[in-house]
A and B are shown apart, each in its own frame.
Chain A
Amino acid sequence: MGKTKDKSGPLARRPDNSAFKQQRLPAWSPMLTANTVLPFFYLLAVVCMLLGVWLLLLVQSTQEIKLDYTDLGNCNECFDLRRNVSNAAQACSCRVEFSIDKSLKGDVFFYYGLKNFHQNLRRYMDSRDDGQTLGRIKILKNPSTYCAPFDKDKYGVPIAPCGAVANSMFNDSFSLTYHLSSGRSVPVPLLRTGLTWYTDKNVKFRNPRTDNLTLAEVFEGTRPPLYWQTPVYSLDPRDPNNNGFINEDLIVWMREAAFPNFKKLYGILNRADPNFEKGLPKGNYSIDISYNFPVQHFQGRKGVVLTTLTWFGGQNHFLPIAYLVTSSLILLAAVVLTVAWWKFGKDGKNMKE
């Protein structure tokens, strides 16, 4: 390999004397000695312990209210109604009441949750066309075969948005009401935007270019998914900018959950309202539910969650506890190692050649 140029003589083919080629690169050769390993273990244990305690305190400061409304109260009727698919067109609404004992301070987030809904099935996740929801005109009318059998209806009209994901979009709607002790009821205002990743709202989902056309005209020649009652361009009757593919409920739904039990953001408490400036005060509340989404087929449950957050997210007890457990295990290991080292391996007894 010594193709050195212009060299001749007896050493012409001698390999180069570079540190790399001779495998003599200067090297740092760490060894797992007691001096390094044991302190490291103790340090790690302490760090984990501190983190765990701190996180635990943080988590304790958050609050969460969970409510399974599947067949709660008068939702029971709707639950029965939805059992039969033929009644899908019939509207059904119900009301669920609950009370908050301790006011939820700060931002309050309103989630809906589903149990046993498998958004993580491979075929389910594949059954979408990101090109279509990106607003590509061509694809709009000619969705990918991945969407099959939800790409076209039986007449061959393309579906927008296509695919099983969009088709199965969660379509219950909620309105939250605060019942003052005076008997007066105040609707709790919820922000229905700002629920998604910035990239989803602004990059991943775009409406087809309108060019002076209305959204409805753009979507002409397509039909909404089979299970939808409203077309995609009129999902949010109140906010025209929240329609089409950039409808936030759609975007939230399209971000598939990793596990069969999940919650998705429905709205955020609008604290501009003077009543709810500091969050949700304690008292009685009710939720009016437009009960559309059937869960009987897949033996699912649905519910709502109200929660406050800290800087690192919602209520999550696992993380601090895991840290604490880990910390104690590391500590235990450190002690065992110390004993072992002290008894058997001290002073490199076993290191004698």
Chain B
Amino acid sequence: MTVLTEIPEKWFPVVLPIKKKKKAGFGGGKSKKKRTEEERRVKANDREHNEKFQYASNCIVTSKYNILTFLPVNLFEQFQEVANTYFLFLLILQLIPQISSLSWFTTIVPLALVLSITAVKDATDDYFRHKSDNQVNNRQSQVLIRGSLQNEKWMNVKVGDVIKLENNQFVAADLLLLSSTEPHGLCYIETAELDGETNMKVRQSVSVTAELGDPNNLASFDGEVVCEPPNNKLDRFCGTLYWREKKYPLTNQNMLLRGCVLRNTEACFGLVIFAGPDTKLMQNSGRTKFKRTSIDRLMNTLVLWIFGFLVCMGVILAVGNAVWEREVGSLFQSYLPWDPPVDNFLFSAFLSFWSYIIILNTVVPISLYVSVEVIRLGHSYFINWDRQMFCSRCNTAAESRTTTLNEELGQVEYIFSDKTGTLTQNIMTFNKCSINGQTYGEVTDPVGKQPKRLDFTPFNPLANPDFCFYDEKLLESVKVGDLHTHEFFRLLSLCHTVMSEEKSEGELVYKAQSPDEGALVTAARNFGFVFRSRTPGTITTTEMGRTVTYSLLAILDFNNIRKRMSVIVRNPEGRICLYCKGADTVLLERLHPCNQELMSITSDHLNEYGADGLRTLALAYRELSEDEWEAWSESHRCADKATDCREDRLAAAYDKIEQDMKLLGATAIEDKLQEGVPETIALLSLANIKVWVLTGDKQETAVNIGYSCKMLTDDMTEVFIIGGHTVQSVRQELRSARERMMELSRGKTEGMEAWAEACFMGNGMKDGQEGDCTTGRGSKQLHCSSLPPSASGDMDSISGEFALIISGHSLAHALEADMEAEFVSTACACKAVICCRVTPLQKAQVVELIKKHKKAVTLAIGDGANDVSMIKSAHIGVGISGQEGIQAVLASDYSFAQFRFLQRLLLVHGRWSYLRMCRFLCYFFYKNFAFTMVHFWFGFFCGFSAQDVPDHRSLEYPKLYEPGQLNLLFNKKEFFICITQGIYTSVVLFFVPYAVLSNATQSNGVPLADYQTFAVTTATALVIVVSVQIALDTGFWTVFNHMFVWGSVGCYFTIMFALHSQTLFRIFPNQFRFIGSAQNTLLQPVVWLTIALATAICVVPVLAFRFLKLDLKPQLSDTVRHTQLVRQKRRKPAGRSIGGAWRGTGSVSEGRLGARGGSRRSGYAFSHQEGFGELITSGKNMRLSSLALANFASKHSSSWIETLRRKKTNHTPPSTSGECSPAPSNVSGTGPALSNSSSVLGGSQETPIEEETDAAVVLSSSSHPAASEPAEPRAPAQVAPADSSTSAAARTDSPGGWTRSLETVQEALFGRRGCASASSTQDSPCVATETPPPY
């Protein structure tokens, strides 16, 4: 250890000049973008110094107003709304006496009402934002101030503070890890909030600070960090620590980002680098945008149109007025002289234009907006009140956090879902296993009888009480002492990289790198093979109560190519045994061929598990003789020490020993989905909603989940995987995928020949024209390969089920401007799309892309902070509530506890909201165009009246959802129909009374043709017609409908009589001059005859059309209602007992989830990373205290590092290695080994966007590190030196040769995969895209 500290001096002087130069080079470019901050300088424990820079504090503000700014800001915002401005304009007009035709309070009262209601709503929203801000800002954290730890609120944490974090705490700001309680300054974090990945990640402090340890030392720490300005790249950090005259490069590997949770680490200290809004988490959350629904936009357009219409009417009437005033009015002047300012008919016309604008403004009544808001509010309450969206487990009801988007829920076409925490519970359970051809374990069936959960405690005091297993046979088998079973669990207890911690006797805590592995080891523990502890050279277990210590000879570590891991152990008896677990595909071919029968049985079991969506692993073992071991160990050592192609050689060595194994069985792990996820997805897809999964997780995990939640199925025509690293390869892959789709769907319709023929013809002509046969082939190729894209317009017509899986780095290319369209057309032709390894920003980009290109309503659902940007950019954001993080919920528009509630939210509430809103709007415009005195109640009751199909039926018939997506119920056409109907009604309502009354008299001879009688008659007729209309529109007559329909008619009469009463007239004679009109008019039979006639004329055509439409071309909702009625009738005699029947048929796929064989998705620890093996054998991550053989460990460890150093100095190429410090202390081994190598080797296949871009950067010029800024040339340059230590470390694994090996691997993979996919198409050769189909 002591050796290491010297090394930095040696290396850093070389490193840093280069770094500085490069930094300056691109610093200039950067400064254009961010003038404010070019680099950040933070000095630890020196607040005065840091204050100079005025960095943002750790206080986050998501609220919009405070008490003082509320009124002006809010009013300003509100008047940005067209409608509000319009009414303000009207109000101003009405204040001009010459043109005010209505008194000014008719506008100001509703306007004030609208403004204040909205203001109150905004204020409440903001209040809650304040509250949640406060809650976050007031979280406590321990800050080191003047040498002592003090509790401070989060918001008071300053840049440059050193803060202490404890286990399971959220990280308060972006920290530079200084030291931790774990050895070597390691600490574990979970970044689920950030990127959705749930496996543990390791962070390590720079070695010099790691030694600081306790607060006293840290208080005197005065290092200065110079680093990049705040940005949103989660996976990159570069900076330098200057301390005691030395410089240390800092990478993302040293950072703890806000939003992470500290796990498995007692405590750690960190230096705040970015705080509050500067943190990467906050930088990643997009701006809050005000969301509008499409109906809103349509409504605004329509209002504008209506306004245009109004202006037209105004103009027509003004012209009429001009003509009239000239022809008649001028003659009439003796009785009615023009007003003083009016001296000619033109001016009068001008004034009358404005007067008409005011009078006719009821066509665009302000009550429209109020009513819409009220209806939405009502719907929001219904969502909040829905018991079926209540999660009793976490005691969380659904909540609609915005009230403005409800009807858009009925129009969703695309759902973008996060995976972890949303689709899955992020719990792995050991679900089934197959041991020696015998399968154990049952799927827990929520419907059927609950099988008995096994109780392990009497049998095994060390058992984990949380573990569930339901098959007694297995326990019996263990108890009986079945050898295979014992060996099976022994394997599970030995072959892993889990670390254990035993706080007190029997209280074991496993630190598993991936939850899969944890589940397996826990299973072994419960079945009596308890993994107790390990040292670099031993594993101690308790087997059936007996403590056994195995000596660990070798760990043959996992990586993504090997897809397996093995351990070689020597048991106390001296027997050497190799235990291997891995993907069945790789494992089964390494078995000894002696027991084919067992293999085929196990294989069947694996198929079965795979079909159930479980992650499977096959287990095998092999006994080794001492000689074999010796021989292999020698060759292994050779390979290990090899200088070039180390990885390859190691792999070859591993491969050599992992042969002729005996199959033990298989395990099946369930990545527990949230309840009801597959059913929900199936239902949603029946409703023609496309679900895309966007996850930060690895491709395999994502695909696996895709299968288990039935997004991907085995009967899919084809699943395309886009994993290219370069623009060209991605384009190529997309193109070939599309061609393949075309081909397959053409193949079905036999359009294939036609296409080929056309292709041939085209070429023939071309050849003929050119008269050059030699170019024929070339041109043919050109021609035909260009044909499919040109036919991409037909992408919609593609039949067949396809799926697309694209990884983050390919997505980065696919999202570039010139490929967008291609990507969208390919992806949208697929039934399922899974994007893995995507960054939060990419999630948002994908959503934006669909919004832009498909003009469809999108919904994003997620639970973590990494989903926030997506949630914000989608039309509708849904947050999963009831879990730890609340960022997603805070950013969301709706929140509930479980994914499955989505179906109810969309198919029931969304549909109803949409339907009601549409009916309401139609009705409203109808009513207004029927020239009405507006009554608020119409709007209001109609909001509750348009329920058409009972909720369970909407779930039963997801197709009912489609009208919303197609926007069928309220669009411009419907609007015009409404308007036409409205105008028709108004014509009838005007001319019928006109014709009747102009001649009629009361029975006492008083003429009825006076203005007031006419007004009362028309208004009454209008109310009655409109009420009849609403009655016709009402599908479900509940108490409320009756109440409101009858109530509104009643109200009308009451109010009319009140307004026409003597009392009011006596008080305001000039305002209420209609006194007595009501009673005088309504007592006349002729008036009622008129009203009846008008009603009949208005309603009969509507009724006839509706009937015809229903009878001849019923919509699905009508038929559903019809059958519902029929069923109800039938059910009545039978009693309510059948009531449950439909419920059964209601949920689409209950019971067994398509128990079909075929797909096996071996899930070896998909969230697993390579490198832990080495970490363990090196003893690096073990506590000194827990090292029984400290001596051995230190020896081993130092020797290991010695090897590293030796390799480094000897073999790294000067240009790069020179600058690198093996930085023994800060070292290498862990950081890079943990993740780099896997990604490096994963290469093309494994989609490495990792949190450490260094690997990708060093990788090759062809691969770009992160997606967020794909075309940034400086990235590699900057990162390379900054991350020198880690990249150097990466090289330690395979100095010199690794690049080449990587290339070969990559090449091999690409080539092989290309061929594989191509050959699976059968009729096209390897390079399918370049050659025409051979016809």
Listed in ascending order, the chain A residues whose CB lies under 8 Å from chain B are 1-2, 10-17, 20-23, 25-32, 34, 37, 40-41, 44, 48, 51, 55, 85, 107, 109, 111, 116, 118-125, 127, 129-131, 134, 136, 144, 146, 148-149, 164, 167-168, 194-200, 203-204, 255-259, 261-265, 268, 297-299, 307, 309-319, 322-323, 326, 329-330, 333, 336-337, 340-341, 344-345, 348, 350-353
Q: Contact mask B416-459 → A, CB, 8 Å, 1/0?
A: 00000000000000000000000000000000000000000000
A260 CB to nearest B CB, Å: 9
A345 to B1097, CA, bound (A): 25
Partner of A27, one of B355, B382, B1037: B1037
Task: Name the distance in Å between A39's Cβ and chain B's nearest Cβ.
Answer: 12
Nearest residue, chain B, Cβ from A203: B1062
Q: Which of B754-762, B1121-1129, B1298-1306 lies at the interface?
A: B1121-1129
- Mask, B318-343, CB within 8 Å of A = 1, is 00000000001001111111011000
Query: Does B392 count as interface, using CB distance less than 8 angstroms?
Result: yes
| A10-B882 Cα distance, complex, nearest whole Å | 12
Known: A2-B385, A31-B1110, A309-B1003. 14 other contacts (CB 8 A): A1-B381, A2-B397, A27-B1037, A107-B1005, A109-B1001, A164-B336, A167-B335, A195-B1005, A200-B1076, A204-B1073, A262-B1007, A318-B999, A326-B1097, A353-B1123
Kindly identify which residue among B1007, B1009, B1086, B1124 contacts A312, using a CB–CB cutoff of 8 Å: B1086
Does B1120 interact with chain A (Cβ within 8 Å)? Answer: yes
Contact of B1075 with A204 in the complex, beta carbons under 8 Å? yes
Top 7 A-B pairs, shortest CB-CB distance? A199-B1076, A345-B1111, A21-B385, A25-B1038, A27-B1036, A109-B1005, A258-B1014
Are A318 and B1006 in contact (CB-based, < 8 A)? Answer: no
Residue on A with the closest CB to B393? A10
Q: How far is the CB of A126 from chain B (nearest CB, A)?
A: 9
Q: Report Cα–Cα, A134/B1072, bound state, in Å.
A: 12
CB distance A322 to B995 under 8 Å?
Answer: yes
Contact between B1007 and A198, CB atoms less than 8 A apart: no
Does A29 lie within 8 Å of B1121, measured CB to CB? yes
**Which of A121, A129, A268 has the largest count of B CB atoms less than 10 A from its CB?**
A121
Which of chain B's residues have a CB closer than 8 A to the CB of A146? 1070
Contacts of A167 in B (CB 8 A): 335
A131:B1070 contact, CB within 8 angstroms: yes
Tell me the smallest distance from the CB of A216 to a CB of chain B, in Å.
24
Asked if B1079 CB lies within 8 Å of chain A CBs, one says yes
Task: Tell me whether B995 and A199 are in contact (CB under 8 A).
Answer: no
A-B contact pairs, 19 of them (CB 8 A): A1-B397, A10-B395, A11-B392, A15-B387, A15-B397, A23-B951, A37-B1107, A48-B1093, A136-B1069, A203-B1075, A256-B1011, A258-B994, A265-B1007, A297-B334, A297-B335, A313-B1003, A313-B1086, A319-B1086, A351-B1122
Nearest to B998 among chain A residues (CB) is A259
Interface centre among B340, B1040, B1075, B1121 (most CB of A within 10 A): B1075
In the complex, the answer to whether A348 meets B1100 with C-beta atoms within 8 Å is: no
With the chains together, A156 CA to B1118 CA distance in Å? 72
Q: How far is the CA of A56 from the CA of B384 in the complex (A)?
A: 60
User: Bound complex: CA of A194 vs CA of B1038, how far in Å?
Assistant: 49
Query: How far apart are the CA atoms of A337 and B1062 in the complex, in Å?
Result: 50
Enumerate B1004-1027 residues with CB–CB distance to A below 8 Å.
Answer: 1004-1015
Contacts of A322 in B (CB 8 A): 992, 995-996, 1093
Would A15 and B385 count as touching, CB distance under 8 A? yes
Which B residues have a C-beta under 8 Å from some C-beta of A?
Answer: 101, 328, 331-337, 339-340, 355, 381-382, 384-388, 390, 392-393, 395-397, 912, 947, 951, 957, 992, 994-1015, 1035-1041, 1062, 1065-1066, 1069-1070, 1073, 1075-1076, 1079-1080, 1084-1086, 1089-1090, 1093, 1096-1097, 1100-1101, 1103-1104, 1106-1108, 1110-1114, 1116, 1118-1125
B891 → chain A, closest Cβ, in Å?
21
Where chain B touches its partner, the secondary structure class is: helix
Residues B1005 and A319 in contact, CB atoms below 8 Å apart? no
Is there contact, CB below 8 Å, between A350 and B1113?
Answer: yes
Chain A residues with CB below 8 A from B1116, complex form: 353
Contact A298 B331 (CB under 8 A): yes
A186, B1038: Cα distance in complex, Å:
69
Could you say which of B328, B912, B1040, B1089 contacts A319, with CB atoms under 8 Å apart?
Answer: B1089
The smallest C-beta distance from A259 to any residue of chain B, in angstroms, reads 5
Which listed residue (A13, A25, A164) contacts B335, Cβ 8 A? A164
Is the pair A297, B331 in contact by a Cβ cutoff of 8 Å?
yes
Residues of chain B contacted by A164 (CB below 8 angstroms): 335-336
A40-B1032 Cα distance, complex, nearest whole Å: 14
Distance in Å: Cβ of B1032 to nearest Cβ of chain A: 8
B998 to chain A minimum Cβ distance, whole angstroms, is: 5
Q: A167-B335, A313-B1003, A348-B1122 are in contact. Are A23 and B382 (CB under 8 A)?
A: yes
Q: Evaluate contact between B1103 and A37: CB separation under 8 angstroms.
A: yes
Give A307 to B1000 CA distance when docked, in angstroms. 11
Residue pair A259, B1035 in contact (C-beta under 8 Å)? no
Chain A contacts for B1011, CB-based, 8 A: 119-120, 125, 255-258
Task: Name the one of A1, A28, A258 contacting B1009, with C-beta atoms under 8 angstroms.
Answer: A258
In the complex formed, the residue of A with least CB distance to B1114 is A350
Contacts A32-B1110, A198-B1076, A345-B1112 given; does A17 touch B997 at CB 8 Å? no
CA distance A127 to B336 in the complex (A): 9
Considering the chains assembled together, what is the distance between the CA atoms of A28 and B331 in angstroms?
61
Minimal beta-carbon separation of B181 from chain A (angstroms): 36
In the bound complex, CA of A299 to CA of B947 (Å): 58
Q: Are A22 and B1073 in contact (CB under 8 A)?
A: no
Chain B residues, Cβ within 8 Å of A351: 1114, 1118-1119, 1122-1123
CB distance from B1044 to the nearest CB of A (A): 12
Q: A44-B1096, A319-B996 are in contact. Are A311 and B1009 (CB under 8 A)?
A: no
User: A337 with B1039: in contact, given A312-B1089, A322-B995 (CB under 8 Å)?
Assistant: no
CA distance A287 to B382 in the complex (A): 74
Q: A259-B1009, A265-B1006, A330-B1096 are in contact. Are A30 and B1111 (CB under 8 A)?
A: no
Q: With A14-B397, A28-B1037, A167-B335 as given contacts, are A314 and B1001 in contact (CB-CB < 8 Å)?
A: yes
- Contact (Cβ within 8 A) A313 B1008: yes
Q: Which residues of B contact A28 (CB under 8 A)?
A: 1036-1037
Find the B residue at minimum CB distance from A346.
B1111
How many angstroms between the C-alpha atoms of A10 and B583 in the bound complex? Answer: 42
Q: Considering the chains assembled together, what is the distance between the CA atoms of A23 and B392 in angstroms? A: 20
B1003 cross-chain contacts in A, Cβ below 8 A:
309-313
B332 touches A297 (CB 8 A): yes
Which residue of B is nearest A252, CB measured?
Answer: B1006
Q: Which residues of B contact A329 (CB under 8 A)?
A: 1100
Across the two chains, which residue of chain A brings its CB closest to B359? A122
Is there contact, CB below 8 Å, between B1006 and A31? no
Inter-subunit contact B1070/A341 (CB<8 Å): no
| Complex contact A29–B999 (CB within 8 A) | no
Q: Which residues of B contact A109 (CB under 8 A)?
A: 1001, 1005
| Nearest B residue (CB) for A263 | B1007
CA distance A23 to B387 in the complex (A): 10
Residues of chain B lying within 8 A (CB to CB) of residue A16:
385
| A197 pairs with B385, CB closer than 8 A | no
Residues from chain B with a CB closer than 8 A to the CB of A264 are 1007
| A203 / chain B contacts, CB cutoff of 8 Å | 1062, 1065, 1075-1076
Is the pair B947, A27 in contact by a Cβ cutoff of 8 Å?
Answer: yes
State A258–B1120 Cα separation when bound (angstroms): 50
Q: Would you call B1010 and A13 a contact (CB within 8 A)?
A: no
Q: A149-B337, A318-B999, A333-B1100 are in contact. Are A258 and B1010 (CB under 8 A)?
A: yes
Chain B residue at minimal CB-CB distance from A130: B1069
Q: How far is the CA of A256 from the CA of B1116 in the complex (A)?
A: 54
Residue of chain A at shortest CB distance from B994: A259
Interface centre among B392, B1001, B1108, B1111 (most CB of A within 10 A): B1111
| Residues of the A chain whose Cβ atoms lie less than 8 Å from the Cβ of B396 | 13
Instruction: For the complex formed, measure the closest distance between the CB of A89 and the CB atoms of chain B, giving whole angstroms.
Output: 15
Question: Inside 8 A of B1112's CB, which chain A residues have their CB?
Answer: 340, 344-345, 350
Establish whether residues A195 and B1006, one from each chain, have CB atoms under 8 Å apart when the complex forms: yes
